[in-house]
Each structure stands twice: as C-alpha cells, then as structure tokens.
Chain A
Amino acid sequence: ETGVTQSPTHLIKTRGQQVTLRCSSQSGHNTVSWYQQALGQGPQFIFQYYREEENGRGNFPPRFSGLQFPNYSSELNVNALELDDSALYLCASRKDTHYEQYFGPGTRLTVT
C-alpha cells in the first residue's frame, strides 16, 4: 500500500508570486484535505476534495484554490503569495467512509 506523497519537499517563492503544490493520495483513498501548519501551531484546515469537487473549506481566502483529479491526486494553488503564507503545507487522504486521515510529509513553503 503506497502512502501519501507530496512534491516538492521545499520551495522558496517571492511575495506576489503563485505556487502549485502536489499530492498523491494513499491507495484506495478518495478524499483529500489540505492543511497549513505554521511553526509551533496545529494544522489549519484549508479545504477538502471529494469526487473532484471542493466539498468543505476553512477560513482561507479565495487565492487558495485546489483541484482533484480522477486518480484522486490533488493540487493546492496559492496566488499572490504573502509573507504569512510561509508554512508547512500538508495533504491528507482518507476513504470517504472513514474519518481517520493519513498525512503526507508536507511541503515547506518559504515566501520572501
């Protein structure tokens, strides 16, 4: 069984730029969620995708958007990057019939 994978591992961007982060869900999982984890904080829910549609969103502005593909992999896009967007971005997958989530290793984004 393949676990959740994310790419890239690390990324440095400049304020105002755009970024795309990628996630491959664990085999058999059809639901993907994205989280932002600032240093010393718990993960904050960004949004969830199921059947290629966003079906839940946290308190993040529209410049945070995503996609889910037919193979259940997913992307997180962030436009107009701000310094406060610097964080660890975590992708988590699960089966829609189960609650427990399995996290990928994350992408460390630094905005300068």
Chain B
Amino acid sequence: GQQVMQIPQYQHVQEGEDFTTYCNSSTTLSNIQWYKQRPGGHPVFLIQLVKSGEVKKQKRLTFQFGEAKKNSSLHITATQTTDVGTYFCAGFNDYKLSFGAGTTVTVRA
C-alpha cells in the first residue's frame, strides 16, 4: 500500500533560523496536503498542492510538490515560537489521505 515518509522526525530550531522538512511517497500522488498539529490539538489544514512542480507560499512558509508528484517539502524562514508543533504531510489517492509520521518542531528562544 501507499507509504508516506517524513524526515526529520524532530527539528530543534533557534528562533530566527530557517529549516526544511521533507516528505516522500512510495507512489505517485493525486495531490499532497500539509497539516499542522499543535501540542494537545488536532491537525489543521495548511495547504494543498496538486500540480507537478507546484510551489506555494504562505507568509514565511514555502511548500513545494516534486516534478514526479512523489515528494514534497515545507520550508520555514525566520522561525518563530508560534511555529512550534508537528507538521504532517498527507498524500491523497482515491478516497483517502495517508499521513506521514510528522516532523515535530521545537524552537529555542
């Protein structure tokens, strides 16, 4: 079955620094979605990428979908304490979302 892998599992970042988290699927995806889950909370939809090579930006967050539609990345610039949480990518095929294990981000002030 479809598997979605994310690296790194943990990201410890100094406030103000940049970082990137990566997502890889074992199969080609119809689209990929990114979610953020704060500690004790539930996943919140951030963005969806559909087209091969698509790049979307949300303020300090840049999302990219690979040319082969099997990988994606999330790059955060000038990390802030509000960026703390777990970021999940999720690949959509047919009727279901397959989530990666997430990248948990902590920020050092």
- Known contacts A42-B102, A99-B33, A99-B48; is A55 also within 8 Å of B95 by CB? yes
| Minimum CB distance partner of B44 in chain A | A103
C-alpha spacing A100/B19, complex, angstroms: 25
Say if the beta carbon of A66 comes within 8 Å of chain B.
no
Say if the beta carbon of A56 comes within 8 Å of chain B.
yes
Q: In whole Å, how far is B42's beta carbon from the nearest beta carbon of chain A?
A: 4
Say if the beta carbon of A33 comes within 8 Å of chain B.
yes
- Known contacts A43-B43, A104-B42; is A48 also within 8 Å of B1 by CB? no
Contact B43 A33 (CB under 8 A): no
Contact B42 A48 (CB under 8 A): no
Which residues of B are found within 8 Å of A55, using beta-carbon distances?
Answer: 95
Q: In whole Å, how far is A106's beta carbon from the nearest beta carbon of chain B?
A: 5
Say if the beta carbon of A81 comes within 8 Å of chain B.
no
Say if the beta carbon of B97 comes within 8 Å of chain A.
yes
| Minimum CB distance partner of A43 in chain B | B99
Contact A33 B1 (CB under 8 A): no
C-alpha spacing A40/B31, complex, angstroms: 24
Say if the beta carbon of A7 comes within 8 Å of chain B.
no
C-alpha spacing A58/B92, complex, angstroms: 13
Contact B92 A99 (CB under 8 A): yes
C-alpha spacing A106/B44, complex, angstroms: 12
Q: In whole Å, how far is B48's beta carbon from the nearest beta carbon of chain A?
A: 5
- Known contacts A42-B88, A99-B48, A100-B48; is A48 also within 8 Å of B43 by CB? no
Report 12 cross-chain contacts, Cβ distance below 8 Å, ordered by A residue: A42-B99, A43-B43, A45-B96, A56-B94, A56-B95, A58-B96, A92-B43, A100-B48, A101-B97, A103-B43, A103-B44, A104-B42
Apart from A43-B88, A45-B97, A56-B95, what 7 extra A-B contacts exist at CB < 8 Å? A33-B96, A42-B90, A42-B99, A42-B100, A90-B42, A102-B45, A103-B43
Interface of A with B (CB < 8 Å)? 33, 35, 40-45, 48, 55-56, 58-59, 90, 92, 99-106
